[in-house]
Amino acid sequence: MTTPSTSAIGAPVSLDRRSLFRAGGALAVAGGLTASASAVSAQGEPEAAAAAPGGLPTRNPLVEQRADPFITRPVNGMYYLTGSVPEYDRVVIRGAATLDGLADARERTIWRRPSSGKMGGYIWAPELHRIDGKWYVYFAAGDSDDPFRIRTYVLESAKDDPREGGWELKGQVVTAWETFTLDATTFSHRGKRYFLWAQHEPGIDTNTNLYIAEMASPLALKTTPVRIATPTLDWEVQGFRVNEGAAVLIRNGRVFVTFSASATDARYCMGLLTADENANLLDARSWTKTPTPVFTTNDATRQYGPGHNSFTTVGDRDVLVYHARDYRAITGDPLFDPNRHTRVQELRWNADGTPSFGVPVGKGGPVVRLSPADAPALFVRHFEYKLRVDGNVRDLADSQFRFVPGFLGAGTVAVQSVNFPDRYARVDGGVVRVDPFEDTDAYGRAASFVRAPGLTDRDGVSLRLAADQDAYLAHDTGRLAVSKPGGDRRARERATFRVS
């Protein structure tokens, strides 16, 4: 770790905006994953950083102009990505050994729509699944004379690598009605394979609802569809009455289904359905809808219309895959705005076993949480902009931070709030706050730290004040404070934090 000069620690340094935001020093090691240095723009917004080897990507977006992203869980050591292309004319797949590798991986077109007739219209939302030793792509397609006559179709390949040739169109997945149908996914649970999709049901005044059925094979349904979600809540009916884009995650004794709702602009958002893992998934009464959206537009992080997600994993960590735009204002129909980009971020879990999505995190390096070594079940979080230490933080983003280059040059770091990226941890007398950036020498000194190996656990981290060689951030009975631990073992433990 780079050690700052004595003058950087002890003596006042004259700072201007250029020096405050010049990239300096190495970024933090997040959870054992070394991050690369990141430049910081004149507006104080970190640019996209490279990924830690074998870990979660830190670049955001991961892949530009790929909406409705679907990333497989690792298959024979490979991740595969597919999604909607802006032209809505083909099905593409790329693969890599790491999530970050998908960003630059060569993309293959495995199927292209015919020039006319059936399936010659819009091609939407492909998903790639490995079932019984074969690959299947479920996708939605319209016809050339009516591109919105959308139905669900399936491709099959016996190849080991889905990027290779050998794909065969197997036809339409037939449901109960010959109506607008899209966004199909499939999953297995307790020896049964299920199909889950969005469709317009005749006689119901909605655009699409969610349906589930057991499958007889990867190509056909076995049971009558069951409607498990209908858009009725205010956040589901903005612009269009839509429930679509379902994704399944089975964890902690429950089956969770995320879905997207409303129009595809900044109002697009994600909801959540939950069923007990022992329940009859084909009984609509088994499913409970969370009354509020779980993932929404965030003006502070400049992420708009997050949705149509999927899930993958890195080791034992769950990863949320989704698309969003970097701007709110759209000219024309948002469906034809090309800049819904593929993004990924770690999915966390609440103490009660429910998923905690936080906010779409926006640009920057690794997102971390800090737990004091003397209370490892608790997390540093901000509340009313003051830093404290709490357990079971359900407002996940309040406990998420980024280490970014500090304001005193090489060897210093700043601690940036994820959900308020214009705010940084700052020592204000005896209080540690997350305060908006100020272009002053005093702010630069109060918001800059030296990151060091943990005083009692070298796998952890300790944050020494850049302006005082003896003072550290420390846990003090539920709040974050400044301490001079010296050689006291307990005090040094309180000034050590585990990074996750």
* Catalytic residue positions, numbered: 68, 244
Report the amino acid identity of residue 481.
Answer: A
| Cβ neighbours for 477, distance < 8 A, ≥ 6 positions apart | none
Nearest in space to 62 (alpha carbons), one of 383, 323, 293, 241? 323
Nearest in space to 153 (alpha carbons), one of 131, 130, 191, 121? 121
Structure tokens at 127: 């998903």
What is the longest distance spanned by two Cα atoms in the chain?
78
Query: Contact at 8 Å (CB) between 236 and 200?
Result: no
Assign residue 88 a region (left: φ > 0; alpha: ψ between -120 and 50; beta: otherwise): left
3-state per-residue secondary structure call for 372-403: ECCCCCCEEEEECCEEEEECCCCCHHHHCEEE
Structure tokens at 159: 């190849």
| Cβ neighbours for 344, distance < 8 A, ≥ 6 positions apart | 56, 57, 62, 71, 99, 312, 319, 320, 321, 322
- Which contiguous run of DSSP H or E holds residue 65? none
Task: Output the CA–CA distances (angstroms, integers) from residue 171 to 137, 138, 177, 182, 320, in the order listed.
Answer: 11, 10, 16, 14, 30
CA angle (35 as vertex; 61, 38 as ends), nearest 5: 65
* Three-state DSSP state, 19: helix
* Three-state DSSP state, 422: coil
